[in-house]
């Protein structure tokens, strides 16, 4: 952990900033999400709760026709077993779907985070119903449970199998995925195998930041930062953007929300925000 802090300090100095020289804060700053961090405020429409709507605290105010709806359970066909010494299992939360997403390894958790941070992904199903497929020479079908099925805004569905690059079962999974492409078009439009070679630490760090920011969104802060960005000419460091506000942490969240919304572009998404901080407004 000490090496992480030293590296972060070196990066600060490289951009002309030294947090060790700042005076200790006399007050505590807090993020200010304008809606519940988990669950959502849902109004009654024609006597029925409309789960497609998510009201802000201000919109809900003193209305009596609004209910807080707790997160829904995972829709997985099988649920993670209790954590063992050999793996990490549990549930993540997608604020957009107001639903838990089960995972059975850290690799699955990372891919789920990438999907949550992509605005083009409109639905994520963890451990959907098992697929039946024929293997060459087999006398009966084999069942395989895909880790995730993602539905994109275009309507295209992609099924993902998550494996470690060095897993001895990887070759068999790749072969099964080829059979699924040929036999299971009614389940998904495409099938992919994702390993830690495709999901890099930088991609995960950025996705975690964006997914967290989306959960802590404040639309007024987003509009303030967007107005600031619209006045900039060309690329600008996101450090310069957030430090232009009296509440930089709230601006930090808002800027990442704008990246998620596609209104601001991170110019080098293959690297972390700390290592490649340049962002730019997206031309209409």
pLDDT value, residue 9? 67
- Is a pLDDT exceeding 70 seen at residue 85? no
Mean pLDDT of the chain: 90
- Is a pLDDT exceeding 70 seen at residue 174? yes
Q: Report the pLDDT averaged over residues 14-18.
A: 68
Buried b (16+ CB within 10 A) or exposed e, 51-90: eeebbbeeebeeeeebeeeebeebbbeeebeeeeeeeebe
Main-chain phi, psi angles of 66, to 5 degrees: -125, 135
Q: How many Cβ atoms are within 10 Å of 202's Cβ, its own excluded?
A: 17
Q: Tokens in use for 39? A: 């669950």
With cut-offs at 50, 70 and 90, classify the pLDDT of residue 114.
very high
Determine if residue 109 is left, alpha or beta; phi over 0 gives left, psi from -120 to 50 gives alpha, anything else beta. alpha
Q: Tokens in use for 157? A: 């569905």
Q: What pTM does this model have? A: 0.88
pLDDT value, residue 165? 86
With cut-offs at 50, 70 and 90, classify the pLDDT of residue 202.
very high
Which has more confidence, 20 or 232? 232
pLDDT value, residue 16? 67
pLDDT value, residue 88? 83
Q: Express as a percent the part of the chain with pLDDT over 70.
A: 95
CA distance 44 to 116: 27
pLDDT value, residue 20? 75
Which has more confidence, 157 or 14? 157
Q: Report the pLDDT averaged over residues 224-243.
A: 93
The top-scoring range by mean pLDDT among 136-145, 167-176, 250-259 is: 250-259
């Amino acid at each position: 952990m000490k090496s992480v802090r030293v590296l972060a300090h070196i990066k600060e100095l490289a951009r002309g900033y030294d947090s060790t020289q700042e005076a200790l804060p006399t007050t505590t700053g807090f993020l200010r999400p304008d809606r519940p961090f988990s669950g959502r405020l849902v109004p009654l429409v024609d006597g029925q709760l409309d789960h497609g709507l998510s009201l802000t605290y201000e919109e809900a105010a003193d209305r009596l026709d609004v209910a807080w709806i707790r997160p829904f359970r995972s829709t997985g066909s099988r649920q993670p077993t209790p954590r063992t010494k050999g793996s990490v299992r549990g549930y993540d939360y997608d604020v957009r779907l107001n639903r838990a997403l089960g995972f059975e390894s850290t690799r699955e958790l990372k891919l789920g985070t990438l999907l949550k941070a992509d605005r083009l992904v409109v639905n994520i199903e963890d451990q959907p119903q098992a697929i039946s497929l024929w293997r060459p020479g087999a006398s009966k079908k084999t069942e395989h449970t895909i880790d995730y099925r993602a539905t994109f805004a275009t309507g295209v569905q992609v099924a993902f199998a998550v494996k470690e690059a060095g897993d001895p079962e990887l070759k068999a999974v790749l072969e099964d995925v080829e059979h699924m492409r040929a036999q299971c078009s009614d389940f998904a439009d495409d099938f992919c195998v994702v390993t830690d070679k495709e999901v890099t630490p930088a991609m995960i760090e950025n996705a975690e930041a964006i997914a967290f920011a989306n959960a802590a969104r404040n639309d007024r802060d987003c509009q303030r930062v967007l107005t600031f960005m619209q006045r900039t000419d060309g690329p600008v460091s996101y450090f310069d953007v957030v430090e232009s506000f009296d509440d930089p942490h709230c601006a930090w969240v808002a800027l990442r929300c704008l990246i998620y919304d596609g209104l601001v572009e991170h110019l080098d998404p293959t690297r972390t925000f700390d290592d490649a901080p340049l962002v730019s407004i997206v031309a209409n």
